Amino acid sequence: MGTSSEASGARGAVLYTRVSTGEQAEHGTSLDSQREACLREALRLGLPVVAVCEDAGVSGAMYETRPGIMEVLRLIEGGAASALIVTKIDRIGRSARVILDIADRVERAGGELVTRDVPLDRSPMGRMMRTMLAGMAEMEREAIRERMAGGKRSRAEQGQQPQRSRPPYGYHVVTNAEVDAGLHPPAMRGRYVVDEGKAAIARRIFADYLRGLTLSRIARTLNREGVPPPGDGRGWHPATVNVILTNPAYKGEPVSGRQKCLTDNSRIGQRHKLTGVPLTTPDVRVPAPPEQRLTLSAPALVSAEDWEAVQRRMAQNRQALNGDPRRALMLSGMTVCPHCGGKAVLKYQNANGK
């Protein structure tokens, strides 16, 4: 979330603070402490504070989607402020490319970037120092991510599911807050427990598929009955049903670490191909190698035999679909539509509507 509190007065400094969720978890970094340090620096320099802008719980990998830093640039490029003050250079970004881009925009607008920990200027030595610090900030970002991933894996090796991940439909992962409140014993921290209401729906989905219903029909029926869907509440879809039917958690074997995060800097400044919305991170999630995955335990909602039977039926359906779906048909491409004059062709559609 980005906020700013403007102050009337002469052209002066805009203060910027940022903290990401990961930094809050690992270091307890405080926006308040950053703000106080920046205020002391503005006072030392004799600069009036034009605005205080912040981005709370936001990654520093990109900046175009951060309201706080965009407000900073608007003020400086618009002439309302002449200096940007931060506690450390990594507050404006965790990517070297992002840091240098913001610094260049401030400089082109005639402004100064002031970092409280290391003095920077426009001399060749100052520019070299800025580039080095930007590279170090990016390295630290990778180190933080590796430490967090290592912590997740360590907890997974102890049988604990990461609490920030979304559990499979029909399950709940016991949180620290629930243990602290006495709702569960400490040994249940990060463990799977059954959400009976949703679990009944998950069991029904498996049963319906085993008795021959298609993914589309199962989804339509659940929507018609008003059954709450997983996640964001956008309704049931064949793909939603497919995710449930293929998840080994339902036979009591949830897998941790099925995906890993990679950084693709070419995503910086790009937009989503379908929605056109600016991308918020250069990180992409890809399937992790099998040797990096860990199998945990959970109360089974279906028997291992039924789960395997579902996988066999899905494999058979895929094989039937991919067998020879483009068979040559007599008169294909030769018959003409009497209304538009176009050639009539056969279009195949699978159970997922594709």
Indicate whether 293 pLDDT > 80.
no
CA distance 117 to 14: 17
Length reported for the chain:
354
* pLDDT band, very low/low/confident/very high, at 187 (cuts 50, 70, 90): confident
Interaxial angle between packed helices 96-108 and 124-157, expressed in degrees from 0 to 180 and rounded to the nearest 10: 150
pLDDT at position 286 is 77
Residues 6 or more apart whose CB falls under 8 angstroms from that of 126 comprise 119, 120
Label residue 58 by pLDDT band (50, 70, 90).
confident
Banded model confidence at residue 198, pLDDT cuts 50, 70, 90: very high
Task: Please check whether the domain covering 2-141 is classified as CATH 3.50.50.60.
Answer: no
Q: Which of 92, 73, 81, 84 is nearest to 18 (CA)?
A: 92
Helix axes 196-210, 304-323, angle to 10 degrees: 50
Q: Percent of the chain at pLDDT above 90?
A: 38
Amino acid symbol at 36: E
Q: Which two tokens stand for residue 23?
A: 């930094």
Bridge-based pairing state of the strands 171-173 and 192-194: antiparallel
Q: Which two tokens stand for residue 7?
A: 């102050």
Q: Which of 4-18, 29-43, 131-145 has the lowest mean pLDDT?
A: 131-145
Strand pairing report for 81-86 and 112-115: parallel
Mean pLDDT of 81-97: 87
Question: What would the mean pLDDT of 284-294 be, rounded to a whole number?
Answer: 75
Structure-token pair, residue 209? 């598929």
Q: Are 279 and 271 within 8 A, CB to CB? A: yes
CA 155 to chain centre: 21
Q: Residue 218 and residue 209: Cα distance in Å, rounded?
A: 8
Contact criterion met (CB below 8 Å) for 61 and 98: yes
Alpha-carbon dihedral angle through residues 184, 165, 29, 38, given to the nearest 10 degrees: -140
Indicate if 266 belongs to the active site: no
Residue in the structure block whose two tokens are 């990180």: 283
Which of 110, 109, 70 has the alpha carbon at shortest distance from 92?
70
324 has a pLDDT exceeding 70: no
Radius of gyration of the chain (CA): 27
Q: What CA–CA distance (Å, rounded) separates 24 from 164?
A: 14
pLDDT greater at residue 191 or residue 334: 191
**Choosing from 4, 5, 8, 20, which is the catalytic residue?**
20
Mean pLDDT of the chain: 79
Count CB-CB contacts under 10 A for residue 1.
Answer: 10
pLDDT given at position 180: 87
Residue holding tokens 């605005």?
Answer: 51
Among 168, 166, 186, 165, which residue's Cα sits nearest to residue 176? Answer: 186
The answer to whether the CB of 115 falls within 8 A of the CB of 159 is no
pLDDT tens digits for 7-17? 433 479 999 99
CA 168 to chain centre: 17
Q: Where are the alpha helices (DSSP H) in the chain?
A: 21-27, 31-45, 67-77, 96-108, 124-157, 176-180, 196-210, 215-224, 238-245, 304-323
What confidence score (pLDDT) does residue 26 get? 44
